[in-house]
Amino acid sequence: MANHKSSLKRIRQDKKKAEHNHYYAKTMRNAVRKLRAMTNKEEAEKLYPSVQKMLDKLTKTNIIHKNKAANIKSSLSQHINKL
């Protein structure tokens, strides 16, 4: 257990930040899953920019790695092109 006031505060802050990051990462995963499940090309093309923007924001704030975001965007664009 932490012995300093600042350590206790840091633990509280880290827990809050982890919960915040988990929410946005889960939201992103759900959006990607929804896009991959689509069979209509027009709808998928409409949704793709918002998913791409979401991935870029999560990359900028270091919630996901930039290479992971690039791989997801690449696979999604391939999926849309196959439709």
Residues in the chain: 83
Q: Judge whether residue 30 has pLDDT over 90.
A: yes
Give the separation between CA 70 and CA 47, rounded to whole angstroms: 17
The structure's pTM equals: 0.84
Helices (H), the chain: 5-37, 41-60, 66-82
Q: Judge whether residue 1 has pLDDT over 80.
A: no
Q: Is 6 exposed, middle or buried (0-12, 13-18, 19+ CB in 10 A)?
A: exposed
Q: What is the pLDDT of residue 15?
A: 97
Q: What is the pLDDT of residue 65?
A: 97
* Per-residue confidence band for 68, with pLDDT thresholds at 50, 70 and 90: very high
Q: What is the pLDDT of residue 4?
A: 93
- Local structure of residue 44 (DSSP, 8 states): H
Tokens, residue 22: 């988990």
Q: What is the pLDDT of residue 16?
A: 97
Tokens, residue 5: 């006031």
